[in-house]
């Protein structure tokens, strides 16, 4: 067993990593490229390293937090997961109803903060609406879904 392989197992002991992440971490530890390649091949053969499984676990974990599918996709891309694997993991693990509920809860929380800071009439202004919308889109929710939820919630608060 090589030192790179043992170091990779120690890294994987804490959490799943994509192949790209693991390569980056092993290279940061100053292992030679050949040793890293051999360790990666061995980890694939032993099923310790699997980007599909990593993507699924990552999506399940992130979907429990107030972030949308777009942001999860960006994070998977940054981790080096291929787009097809990311899309498959998102479609299998993100429920649209749950994503909408998460967005609604985040929207309500942000509205309370904006009303406290700027007053109730702020939501009726275009600046308030734009600020709320851009905040929610920044959390990775689909813009069409954000527009629907913001329209519904601001209408409810206006009544």
Angle between helices 126-138 and 143-158 (to 10 degrees): 140
Q: At what angle do helices 3-14 and 19-28 cross, to 10 degrees?
A: 120
State which of 42, 70, 93 marks the end of a domain.
Answer: 93
Q: How confident is the model at residue 158 (pLDDT cuts 50, 70, 90)?
A: low
Give the integer Cα–Cα distance in Å for 103 and 137.
Answer: 10
Per-residue pLDDT, 153: 86
Total count of domains within the chain: 2
Instruction: Give the residue, 121 or 8, on which the prediction is more confident.
Output: 8
Residue that is written with structure tokens 């693990």 in the block: 93
Co-location of 64 and 27 in the same domain: yes
| 127 and 116 in a common domain | yes
Q: Is the pLDDT of residue 76 over 90?
A: yes
Same domain flag for 85 and 34: yes
Residues 82 and 52 in one domain: yes
Same domain (yes/no): 11, 89: yes
Q: Which residues, 6+ apart, have CB-to-CB distance to 65 below 8 Å?
A: none
Q: Which of 39, 45, 31 lies closest to 6 in space, CA to CA?
A: 39
Percent of residues, the chain, with pLDDT higher than 90: 84
> Which of these three, 58, 77, 93, is where a domain ends?
93
- pTM across the whole model: 0.85
Q: Which domain holds residue 109?
A: 96-158
State both tokens at 90.
């998102």
* The pLDDT of residue 75: 96
Same domain, yes or no: 46 and 104: no
For residues 154 and 79, state if they share a domain. no
What per-residue confidence (pLDDT) applies to 144? 93
């Amino acid at each position: 067993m090589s030192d790179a392989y043992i170091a990779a197992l120690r890294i994987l002991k804490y959490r799943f990593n994509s192949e790209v992440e693991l390569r980056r971490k092993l290279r940061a530890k100053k292992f030679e490229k050949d040793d890293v390649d051999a360790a990666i091949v061995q980890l694939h053969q032993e099923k310790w390293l699997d980007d599909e499984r990593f993507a699924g676990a990552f999506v399940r974990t992130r979907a429990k937090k107030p972030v949308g599918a777009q942001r999860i996709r960006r994070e998977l891309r940054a981790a080096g997961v291929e787009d097809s694997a990311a899309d498959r993991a998102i479609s299998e693990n993100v429920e649209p109803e749950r994503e909408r509920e998460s967005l609604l809860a985040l929207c309500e929380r942000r509205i309370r903060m904006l009303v406290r800071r700027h007053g109730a009439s702020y939501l009726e202004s275009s600046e308030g609406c734009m600020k709320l919308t851009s905040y929610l889109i920044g959390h990775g929710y689909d813009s069409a879904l954000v527009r629907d939820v913001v329209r519904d919630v601001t209408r409810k608060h206006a009544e």
